[in-house]
Structure 1
Amino acid sequence: MLKHRYTFYFAFFAIALLSFINRDLTPVNELKYISIALEALQSNHWFAFYNHGQIYADKPPVYFWIIMVGIKLFGTNGAALFTCLFSILPAIGIAEVMHRWTKHELKPAMGNIAVVMLISSGLFLACAIILRMDMLMALFITLALYQFHLAFIRQQQYLAPSAQRYFILLFILLALLIKGPVGLLLPVLSIFAFLWQKKSLKQWSLYFPLKGVLLFLLIIGLWGLGIDYDGGHQYLYQLTIGQALKRGIHASVHPEPIYYYLQSAFSTLQPWSLLLVVSGLGFILQFFKSKSQLETQSKLSDTACLFLTVTITGVVMLSAVSSKLEIYFLPLMPFVIFASVMILQQLNERKWWLWGLYPIAVLTMIAPIVALFFTSALDKLPVSLSDAYLLLASLFIFGVITMGLLLKQKYQHAVVSLGCTMLAIILVAALVVPKYNNLLGVEQVANLAQQQSPKYGNQGYYAYKKESLQNMDVYFNQPVRLINTVQQAVNLKVGSVIITKNKQAEIIKALAAKGQKPSYINTEGKYTLLVR
């Protein structure tokens, strides 16, 4: 059994950091964020951000400021490793805040189990090992709601209001400036729903004091003035009205049906989805079975009520927004998992744990064996058979351990074993990923381009029909220009370096039609480099 949660924190931190060190950045998002920050530094923009000259009003400034600090301190190469800490450490921070929040309601062993479940859940773990601002926003949303609950407890005890109510506003402000409207709406609507449920809406001003709200609005106003000064009215419009139309009302990006999160939650919460469903069913059954004893057996604590309120409010709010992505569910995950563990502790019957854990343990143990009978399918994977077998072996070993623990009815130990299974998967991936960086990122083809360009006169870098390749300016420290037609490629100066993804045949054919051919051509993974 995990004796202390810090053991799991350390293992998670080490494995997550190793995965960042060993892998290339993805050009679509991770490299793009560094490119935007680099462009902001070069053009001296601090409030308005651009991606290769085009307005990028999708995100507020704080995360880009962090990357800019990283570039200033460690250069473009070190900035990625510096920025990754703002995904890993907030993940640990969320788990620790939730543990301390529930320490008076969860037994120590159950508190540790909740930590393991949170950190090792699929979406949460994935978001902790990529460069995105979502985990940092989720931390401040969690902190805002934690401070609200502390203030609520003080009010229930008839104690004088404390500085906690100002910390509520501070953390909401930071969440807003990191990611945008979700950082504001989720905590505010959750607090409103909770106070309404408790028939305490009249106390709203105790948690949102007028002075604090005015200061909050003043800072937002100053931010707006900074945007208007730095980027003009058009940028300010795109950040506010434009984003509301683009993502909130009639989504032009990531449009999904209203039931999307109910559909995707089962996969994002793996490997704990079935256990969470079982906990909910167990509580419902207990509620109807012991309705006369509701006050003593089935009544939820204020903490659990708040967690469930945040979950329900968040799902309704996110479902009402037209643009949807699985990662938007991230801020709700701590509340879903900890509320479920609190319910499981209240049910106090091993059968609920066993029903929720047995199927995933069986799958973890049996799936690797079944996969061995489909080697033809394994051959089609973009990894070598030896690496696939290593991953399958890890799954099988931990599956056997988990099943053995369940057979002994040591369900708490089994949870830790499954959590370690998820970390083992990330560890194996981190160890083998350098072999496949040419499939994941573009650093290898960038290095090749830098080697070849001087040999042909340094005529510049061009991305053919692939906008995300412009973000390779992070490696070149000079612009990568986008060309979208074969004629543009043919008209480039001899010696120009062209990078493309699966489109090289078009250029070669067009050059051949003019009796020409590339001066140099080579393929690295999914990308091809041609020298005109």
Structure 2
Amino acid sequence: MKNNRTYLLLVAFAAALLPVMILRDFTPSNELRYLSIADEALRDGHLFAFFNHGVPYADKPPLYLWLVMLGRQLFGGHCMAFLSLFSLVPAMVILRTMDRWAAESGVTVRNRTTAALILMTSGLFLGLAVFVRMDMLMCMFITLALRSFWLLYAGRGNAKLHRWLFPLFTWLALFTKGPVGLLVPLLSVAVFLILSGQGRTTGRYCGWFTWGVIAAGCAVWFTLAWLEGGMDYLNNLLFHQTFDRAVDAFHHKEPVWYYFISIWYSLAPWSLLVIGGIVVALCRRVRLDESERFFLTVILTTGVMLSLFSSKLAVYLAPTFPFLVYLAASLLQRMPAAAWWQKGAVALPAVVWAAALPTVLLLRHRVESVVPDGAEWLLAAGALTCSGVAALVLLCRDDSLHRAVGSVAAGVLVAVFTLGFSLPELNVRLGYGTLCREAKQLLQANGWSNCYVWNIRRAESMDVYLGRPVEETSVEELCAGRCDDGVVMLPGRKLQSDARLRNFVSDRRCHEVGEYLIVELPPAMPAGSW
């Protein structure tokens, strides 16, 4: 029965995300870029040295790009549902692993259920569970590595097996996204042993055997990357993407206190309950058991380490979220029942949820562009409002905190499931798939070969849809007639601020696709039409 509870939660989680996995378009920022890099690697026959339109791309290790390449080979194209599995399944493995870990540490079934609901409906964790990124896969390997260490440390399970699994999972975390996957497990373990007065035993877990396994995997990887990409690529991989990012980042440079701010919206809507629970317990000097001390060590060690790095993003802190949530759940059962601050921490999102339907109705009538027409939005808002009201009613009763959390979490999952069906209409705003498919049809129908873009962010990755490269152009080149027969894609909103562009577009056939325009450039296009 206990196992059924866990599996039912995981099934509900997967079901809520299923429409998003099937109906969503790839986002231009990172997802489409990964697909474009994988396509280029397949064309060029590369497996270890990757390039983004001819420019070396050593930002990410090969594992995740291999999975993208595998999907392309299996389906003949990039399948969103297939690629989303490499985010969803790792999220489910993390939930299952943490549930078993907490059960062994004496956390009650009710508190573990609450922890699972909180984790799966936390903003960043929920997003990472469906977006085509390698972050959740890395988090899974980090969690499994720390779990293997703990079983080895506690003398549970097969010692020989976990002696191998700890370095193997650590290396896989490194091979998925980079140095953070290596540093989080090894530093957390070392700091925990030192603080526990067992610093002399560090070599037993992080000694020659562990480093030997990791070094062997890295030696093969680096050698093959050098053979394919040369010394410049290897230097980029080993130094530019590690030391340069850590010391003086060329991307995502943020101040040292960045994570003290980002964690509040990353864990929303449960930030106050999770962080507040841990802080209150520490202030009251609640005695932590050994597993709780280990969880706290992972959280603080990772937070301090990432804060010292120059390059920062909210997503980098994701490996700590399972430990934050389950530590809070473990401490919650030793706190006074239904403390006022706990009810307040749940009441806050419940009030926001309760206001969802009135807000949507108000915005729908006043600002049509904010809330698109469609029953999905009303149903999702209605689900949130019902769950919020139910949570507020439950909070008025004694010993109802867990049920209130469940009500708020259920509203999130139902809303995500319902809103997933509105994605076909929203994809034209979220990605470039619809735009590129129409442009490709125009090119094929007219026998044209050139595809230009102007002022579209990261347009180079459109080659995933078009099957051909796009060429950046300018208003001057367009108006001077220096673009050959084909089409040009541009943002329609720019017409209001550029008279030359308006004149250029007014003389040609245009096709409106969401916020963009596709302008035909026939062979007989007159030069200097403005």
Q: Above 0.5 in TM-score?
A: yes
Q: Deviations over 1:166-210 (max 9, x none)?
A: 211000100001000110111111111101111111111211342
Q: TM-score, normalised by structure 1?
A: 0.90
**Correspondence list, 1:512-523, <5 A:** 519-523=508-512
Q: How many Å apart are 1:81 and its aligned residue?
A: 2.2
Q: How many Å apart are 1:485 and its aligned residue?
A: 6.1
Q: TM-score, normalised by structure 2?
A: 0.91
**Correspondence list, 1:425-436, <5 A:** 425-436=415-426
Q: Which position in structure 1 is the counterpart of 2:219?
A: 221
Q: How many Å apart are 1:391 and its aligned residue?
A: 3.4
- Matched residues in 1 for 2:471 and 2:52: separation? 12
Q: Which position in structure 2 is the counterpart of 1:379?
A: 368
Q: Deviations over 1:265-292 (max 9, x none)?
A: 11111111111233134313532xxxxx
Of 465, 476, 487, 2:477 maps to 487
Q: Quick one: which amino acid aligns to residue 397 of structure 2?
A: K
Q: Which position in structure 2 is the counterpart of 1:88?
A: 88
Q: Which position in structure 2 is the counterpart of 1:5?
A: 6
- Matched residues in 2 for 1:81 and 1:418: separation? 27
Q: Deviations over 1:233-253 (max 9, x none)?
A: 111122222123552211221
Q: Do the aligned partners of 1:521 and 1:530 also contact (CA within 8 Å) in 2?
A: yes
Judging changes above 3 Å, is the alpha-carbon distance between structure 1 residues 128 and 349 closer, same or farther for their aligned structure 2 residues?
A: same
Q: Which position in structure 2 is the counterpart of 1:70?
A: 71
- Matched residues in 2 for 1:310 and 1:114: separation? 18
- Matched residues in 1 for 2:359 and 2:446: separation? 53
Q: How many Å apart are 1:335 and its aligned residue?
A: 0.4
Corresponding pairs, count: 516
Judging changes above 3 Å, is the alpha-carbon distance between structure 1 residues 215 and 490 closer, same or farther for their aligned structure 2 residues?
A: farther
- Matched residues in 1 for 2:325 and 2:277: separation? 10
Q: Which position in structure 2 is the counterpart of 1:460?
A: 450
Q: Deviations over 1:471-504 (max 9, x none)?
A: 1211122222333563278555542222223486
- Matched residues in 1 for 2:125 and 2:465: separation? 29
- 1:394 lines up with 2:383 in the alignment: yes
Q: Do the aligned partners of 1:457 and 1:495 also contact (CA within 8 Å) in 2?
A: no
Q: Do the aligned partners of 1:483 and 1:489 also contact (CA within 8 Å) in 2?
A: no
Q: Do the aligned partners of 2:428 and 2:435 also contact (CA within 8 Å) in 1?
A: yes
Unaligned 5+ segments in structure 1 are 288-297
Q: How many Å apart are 1:65 and its aligned residue?
A: 0.3
- Matched residues in 2 for 1:489 and 1:321: separation? 47
- 1:149 lines up with 2:150 in the alignment: yes
SS of 1:270's equivalent in the other structure is coil
Q: Which position in structure 2 is the counterpart of 1:112?
A: 113
Q: How many Å apart are 1:21 and its aligned residue?
A: 1.1
Q: Quick one: which amino acid aligns to residue 314 of structure 1?
A: T
Q: Do the aligned partners of 2:440 and 2:466 also contact (CA within 8 Å) in 1?
A: yes
- Matched residues in 2 for 1:365 and 1:236: separation? 54
SS of 1:379's equivalent in the other structure is coil
- Matched residues in 2 for 1:209 and 1:314: separation? 20
Q: How many Å apart are 1:370 and its aligned residue?
A: 5.7
Q: Do the aligned partners of 2:186 and 2:206 also contact (CA within 8 Å) in 1?
A: no
Quote the sequence identity (%).
32
Q: How many Å apart are 1:304 and its aligned residue?
A: 0.7
- Matched residues in 2 for 1:208 and 1:114: separation? 30
Q: Which position in structure 2 is the counterpart of 1:340?
A: 328
Q: Which position in structure 1 is the counterpart of 2:271?
A: 273
Q: Which position in structure 1 is the counterpart of 2:310?
A: 322
**Correspondence list, 1:130-529, <5 A:** 130-154=131-155, 161-244=159-242, 246-287=244-285, 298-351=286-339, 353-366=342-355, 368-369=357-358, 372=361, 378-381=367-370, 383-384=372-373, 388-409=377-398, 410-466=400-456, 468-483=458-473, 486-487=476-477, 490=480, 492=482, 494-502=484-492, 505=495, 509=500, 519-529=508-518
SS of 2:160's equivalent in the other structure is coil
- Matched residues in 2 for 1:370 and 1:393: separation? 11
Q: Which position in structure 1 is the counterpart of 2:526?
A: none
Judging changes above 3 Å, is the alpha-carbon distance between structure 1 residues 453 and 508 closer, same or farther for their aligned structure 2 residues?
A: farther
- Matched residues in 1 for 2:237 and 2:508: separation? 44
- Matched residues in 1 for 2:501 and 2:334: separation? 71
Q: How many Å apart are 1:394 and its aligned residue?
A: 2.1
Q: Deviations over 1:402-427 (max 9, x none)?
A: 12222233221111111112112211
- 1:17 lines up with 2:18 in the alignment: yes
Q: How many Å apart are 1:467 and its aligned residue?
A: 5.3
- Matched residues in 2 for 1:363 and 1:57: separation? 43
Moved more, 82-91 or 490-499: 490-499
Q: Quick one: which amino acid aligns to residue 363 of structure 1?
A: V
SS of 1:59's equivalent in the other structure is coil
Q: How many Å apart are 1:368 and its aligned residue?
A: 4.1
Judging changes above 3 Å, is the alpha-carbon distance between structure 1 residues 24 and 465 closer, same or farther for their aligned structure 2 residues?
A: same
- Matched residues in 1 for 2:406 and 2:38: separation? 39
Unaligned 5+ segments in structure 2 are 522-530
